[in-house]
Homo-oligomer: A and B are copies of this chain.
Amino acid sequence: MSTPPNPLRRNESSRRAILEAALQLCAEDGYGRLTIEAIAAHAGVSKKTIYRWWPSKGAVILEAIDDMANLLADHVDTGNLAADLHTQLSAVIELLTPPNNSAITGLIAEALHDKDLANDLRERLIRPRITAFKERMRIAQASGQLAPDADLDVALDLIYGPIYHRLVFHLGMPDAEQLRTLIAHALRGIQPA
């Protein structure tokens, strides 16, 4: 006797088609004009399928960004902390730079006036990345690349803060050399005197 298919169970190829459609439409038309209808049409699925898996367009975009960030912006460990942070932050900056940025900046803007989405953004997208950052920093501490009593909460603020200050005030993302300078200064700041 075979088990009947569970209609709530996600089909991976539909899931990927939906997320890719959402990102592509967002890049073309902007987050504000994105609709579930358009995503459904573009991905070749029904609106009902999308609503079965996600409560809102914000939730679709959140998951699309999460997939993209998992793929592109993981922490690496070559044994050189400054260089590894440069690699990871360069990927984050890439995601925040046109034409790749419309999904994430749209999500950030929407979350600024939608408490549930803000909560999802923090808990589902950001907290796991803060954990991964701190894991990389603890490896650096264990191997002597970073002072064992460096404050990792301050490190998070000093290393990632500049990018988002520049984002919200449209001051331009740091280039590779500026990023190197920022990381060097931030790491100096968190080494206890």
Interface string of A143-178 (1 = CB under 8 A from B): 000000001001011101111111111110010000
Say what secondary structure dominates the interface of chain A.
helix
Shortest C-beta distance, A117 to chain B (Å), equals 10
Q: Once the chains bind, are B111 and A106 in contact (CB under 8 Å)? A: no
Q: How many copies does the complex hold?
A: 2
Q: Once the chains bind, are B121 and A113 in contact (CB under 8 Å)? A: no
A residues contacting the other copy or chain, number (CB 8 A): 43
Q: Does A79 contact B (CB under 8 A)?
A: no
Residue among B31, B112, B154 making CB contact with A106, cutoff 8 Å: B112
* Bound complex: CA A122 to CA B121 (Å): 26
Residue among B126, B169, B185 making CB contact with A190, cutoff 8 Å: B185
List chain B residues, Cβ under 8 A from A158.
158, 161-162, 182, 185-186, 189
* Bound complex: CA A111 to CA B164 (Å): 14
The A107-139 residues at the B interface (CB cut-off 8 A) are 108-113, 118-119, 121-122, 126
Residue among B30, B121, B193 making CB contact with A170, cutoff 8 Å: B121
Shortest C-beta distance, A128 to chain B (Å), equals 12
Q: Once the chains bind, are A154 and B185 in contact (CB under 8 Å)? A: yes
* Bound complex: CA A118 to CA B98 (Å): 15
Q: Which of A121, A156, A171, A185 has the most CB of B within 10 A?
A: A185
Chain B residue nearest to A125 (CB atoms) is B169
* Interface residues, chain A, with chain B CB atoms under 8 Å away: 30-32, 105-106, 108-113, 118-119, 121-122, 126, 151, 154, 156-158, 160-171, 174, 181-182, 185-190, 193
